[in-house]
Every structure is written in C-alpha cells, then in structure tokens.
Structure 1
Amino acid sequence: MAEKKIWSEKASMRDFYSTPIHWILTFITVGFYFLIIYLWRLNTRYSLTDERLIIETGILSKHIDEIELFRIKDTKLSQGLCQRFVGLGNISVTSTDSTPDLVMICLPNAKEKREQLRTLSNAARSKKGVRTLVHE
C-alpha cells in the first residue's frame, strides 16, 4: 500500500512582515537579512505522510531528512506574539532515532498540523505494535 500524503508546506514569511526586529535587521544589512531568510524559507519544505515526516532543505544543495512516525516521542507547539497575530506557529518534534530534535518554523495552521502529527504518530505506533516505556 502506497504512502498517503497528508500535507506539504513551506515556512511562511507572514511573521517577517509583522516583526519589527526583522525590519531593523533588514535595514541595517541593506536587505541581505531579508534575502537570506526568504531564500531559506522558500527552499525548506515539510511534508507529512501517513508513515513519515519529511524535511527537505537547501538552496544550492539538497538535504532530505525523515522521521518515521512510530519513532516520534513528543510534539510541542510554540507561537510568539507576532506569530499568533498572523496565524503561524513552530512545531518541535522529539523522536527516538538519531535525528536531533526538529523544529518546523512558521507553519500556517500549526495547531491543527501538530494535532494531525500526534494522531498519526499514535496510529503508526499502534499499527507497528510499538510500546512506550515511561521511566520515573
């Protein structure tokens, strides 16, 4: 059975326009700060399937990283004040594989996407028969 794509998203620039520090840094660097942030976000894509979370990054060279959903231990949502105004959020993912903690930045509808990720990771663990041990 083929993987089913749930969503695919690039980091948004909406928070950039509403955050004064971004404008100050852009002015000081004569636009280079904006250009770097824009190119980085333009060339970073997050995709969620029913089996994996896939992260593609890179401007000149490509780097693809993925986390099997059954390996995800925890997800967290954070939203700065400006992000809340424009409907964006950051999702942090902690997993049991060698991939370090991953942060997907400036995602639209981040709360819904985090909930989808959580639901799918729980389903993947159940499907694979993976049990989580809690040490106290």
Structure 2
Amino acid sequence: MKCPKCAAEVADNAAFCPQCGASLKAAAGVASAQPAAKRGRALDEPERDLWSGAYSPKAMLGVWAVLALLSLVGLAIGFLQLSGSAQWSALLVVIVLAWLAGAMVLIYRRLSVRYRLTSQRLYHEKGVLRRTIDRIELIRMDDITCEQGPVERALGIGSIRVKSTDRSDPEFWIYGVEDVRNVASTIDQARRAEQVRRNVFIEMGAANG
C-alpha cells in the first residue's frame, strides 16, 4: 500500500512510513470505516411507496353483464306471462335482491382488501371492522406472474401471482388489479432492485468481514 502523506510504497502490515515516519494506523482505520459506512447506508435506506391499490370495480363487469342479461330475460318472461300476478311481484323482488347482492359483494371487496408496495415489502391489508396486515419481503419473492382472460385484457385488469419463500404466503394472489401489466412490472422491478441491494450488502460484508 501507499503512505497517505508521501505516497511512498510501504508494507501492508507496517505501522509507520519508513520514508516520512507518518503513522499508518489512522489511514487504515479510515479506509476500513468507509466500506462499513457504505454498508450502513445501504441497509438503512428508508422504504419508499411505489404503488397502492384495491379491488377494481371493472373486475366485476362480467357479473354485471350476467345480471343484466338474466334481469332482461326475467322481465320479458314475467311481463308476458306473469304480469299483474303475485309471481310478477316476487320476480321483481328477486331481481332487485340480486343486484343488491352484487353491489354488496363489490363494496365488501373494495373495503376489505388493500395492497401497498414499497421499495422493500408488499403489504396486504384485509378486513373491514378488524384489519390485519400481512407483509412479504421483496427479497423473498421468486416469481411474479400476470394472468388475464380475454375480457380482462380488453379492460386492462387482471390478477397477479406472487411466488415467494415466505412461509405464510408461498403463493400469494392479488385479484382485480387495474393496469395489471404495469403493476406486475413495478413489483418485479422493485423485487430485482431490492435483491441487488441486499446482495451488494452481503458481498461487501463478506469482503470486509
């Protein structure tokens, strides 16, 4: 190595420079402290929010289409054959209740599930009155898959499957995601960035350990 004062070549285990007599212990301490400081900064990097979302109403468009079709068929048959009877009134009640049930399912899905992606974790909040929060470390994720049917592709929605080494959620699904391709790409990029960051930290620790 070189003396920091006179730049003369000295032995690695030398305590003093043979040319100028400068102490080499302080320089070695500063040099060893720099990698440790870099490792500390890498490990202490704060979480940054990258995406948040909930169940998209578009994901139930197929349900609304089926309800609309059945309602029209029921109303047509009822009007022609049951008009003015008690069965006609009962049919109307059934149709209204079916739409109310669909609306309640949508409201429940919208309120009971939320997702939040940060630069280090994926958070899954569930529950209405009582909320529980599960989290998956991005470094534990192995694979991100986006799945869409023909109608979902046209609407830009879909589901995301996350495979990880997390024991509680080895295969985690995110349903009803709007702009699903971009969201899946964001999760995958965040996963790769976090794994690179952690690997750099581990390699630096091994090299200077």
> Given the two structures, how large is their TM-score scaled by the length of structure 1?
0.83
Secondary structure, in 3 states, of the residue corresponding to 2:153? helix
2:196 maps to which of 105, 113, 126 = 126
Secondary structure, in 3 states, of the residue corresponding to 2:174? strand
Tell me the alpha carbon deviations over residues 65-116 of structure 1, each in whole angstroms, 9 at most, x when there is no partner.
1101000011110112222221111101011011221111111111111111
Provide the rounded CA distance (Å) in 1 between the counterparts of 2:176 and 2:66: 16
More strand by share: 1
> Larger deviation: 14-23 or 51-60?
14-23
- Does the CA contact (< 8 Å) of 2:115 and 2:125 recur in 1? yes
Q: How many residues align?
A: 130
| Greater RCO, CA 8 A, separation 6+ | 1
Provide the rounded CA distance (Å) in 2 between the counterparts of 1:125 and 1:21: 44
Identity of aligned pairs, percent? 26
Secondary structure, in 3 states, of the residue corresponding to 1:47? strand
| Larger-Rg structure | 2
Q: Which runs of 5+ in 2 are unaligned?
A: 1-44, 71-93, 201-209
Map residues 38-57 of structure 1 onto 2, 5 A cutoff.
38-57=107-126
Q: Which runs of 5+ in 1 are unaligned?
A: 131-136
> Given the two structures, how large is their TM-score scaled by the length of structure 2?
0.56
- Does the CA contact (< 8 Å) of 1:16 and 1:22 recur in 2? no
Provide the rounded CA distance (Å) in 1 between the counterparts of 2:67 and 2:190: 35
The change in CA–CA distance for 1:27 and 1:70 in structure 2 (over 3 A counts) is farther
Map residues 1-136 of structure 1 onto 2, 5 A cutoff.
1-19=45-63, 20-21=65-66, 27=95, 30=98, 31-100=100-169, 101-129=171-199
Provide the rounded CA distance (Å) in 2 between the counterparts of 1:71 and 1:87: 28
